[in-house]
Amino acid sequence: MMEKADLSELSFREVLAQHRSSSGEPQTKEIVRLALEKLKASGKEVRIYDSSKQLLGLAVDGIIINDGKPHIFEKNIEKALNGNYAYTVTDNHLLYFATPIQNQFYENAYVYEFVEDISYFYAIMDQIRYVLFAGAGGFIVLITLASLWIARSTTKPIKVLLGAAQSFSRQEFRRVHLNRKDELGMLADGLDSMGRQLHDYIQYQKQFVSNVSHELKTPLAAIRGFSQYLYEGENENKELQKIYSHLLQESDRLTRLINELLLLSRFDKTGSSELEVEKTEIHALIQQVTMNMEAKAKDKEIRITVHKTQGEPADEGEGLTKVYANVNPMLMSHAIANLMDNAIKYSSSHSQIVIEMEYTPNELAIRIRDEGIGIAGDELERVQERFYRAKNASTANGSGLGLSICKEIVERFNGYIDVESQLGQGTTVTIVLPRA
């Protein structure tokens, strides 16, 4: 617009140069008429004002109007007379642009103002705004999709690596491979190599324990037989008989240890799907194990109490709910008996062992609570590890394998073991199994 105003100013000054004379009114009107003739097509409206802000001439759509009374923006005219460009835009998208016109004395003698319809500019701006909004929306969608793709391509391999690490912590080793050549791919390759080495090492360790246990069974059986023979044949020397008795007891302890190691070796080699399971009524199983353990409990004058779970009447009319689980009865009996044996070993005489069973629609819990020596809080997390014995466990013989064997058995049937204890107040071991 300023360029157009400058061109119009040059045309106006040409008219002034051609009519330099006195400033009488006829001459001024002639200058205005000639200027309008020359500039009438330069805008929708063309106006010429004098230095007193009076309208001297008006042309609308290329036609000169003599008695027109248009709306005048006086601030535009005032700014132009001060030597500045001035413009105003109305609500109906009309631009009023005013520029000063100097005479031969460099005085702002006239103001030339033209009016332009700039609706097309607003239409273009609306289109540009629409394009920008549409582009911004598309860009946001594109960025969102790209972010989701980047997040997915980044978090998915991380989840794979995390799952592999969690599997390794459970000694479930599997191949880890990501079809990537970046740092995540290198990490996956390293994790895979570590997993294979750990798997080979653990398998070698387990095989070694199994082989040693098998090799020791035969000579240990011979040692026990000779110890039994010497113990029963010695009737005169009480000191020697005491030594033979101790030798016999240690032989029995080593035999139990080897049997437990062989049982663990069997678990290591046998998958859960290879174990024979059947729908077993847990009440009856607990009663059978309790009956078998009562003789050992009586030797220490310990009372075993079974709290029967009340519920819907059983099929036989016993007034008890029959609760079933899919387990191997022999192995589950061994687990419960092992826990009861621990409770007896680490309890003092004249104490009580309570066995309870609770159940929900989905799970059942067998809780064995004793009044024994208890376990320190900082050792509870480790008592289910193989060969680990609590610091105060020296009061009774043991190998540190009993609870770990129970854990292996229960986990084979999709259950778990929870241990709660306080020193000097007893221990509660809970077996949790899914109901059948």
Instruction: Answer yes or no: is pLDDT of 408 > 80.
Output: yes
| Closest C-alpha among 7, 16, 2 to residue 110 | 16
**CA 268/CA 116 separation, integer angstroms:** 93
Which pTM does this prediction carry? 0.49
**CA 293/CA 281 separation, integer angstroms:** 19
Average pLDDT score over residue span 342-366: 90
**CA 414/CA 95 separation, integer angstroms:** 83
Cβ atoms within 10 Å, residue 380 = 15
At 280, the pLDDT band (50, 70, 90 cuts) reads very high
Instruction: Answer yes or no: is pLDDT of 26 > 70.
Output: no
Residues in contact with 377: Cβ distance below 8 Å, sequence separation at least 6, in sequence order = 421, 422
Amino acid 325: pLDDT: 93
Per the prediction, the chain carries an average pLDDT of 82
Of 361 and 167, the one with more pLDDT? 361
Amino acid 263: pLDDT: 67
Average pLDDT score over residue span 66-82: 85
Residues 164-198 as b/e (b if ≥16 CB within 10 A, e otherwise) read: beeebeeeebeebebeeeeebeebbeebbeebeee
Average pLDDT score over residue span 295-324: 71
Residue with tokens 């398998």: 203
Average pLDDT score over residue span 77-91: 88
Average pLDDT score over residue span 124-144: 91
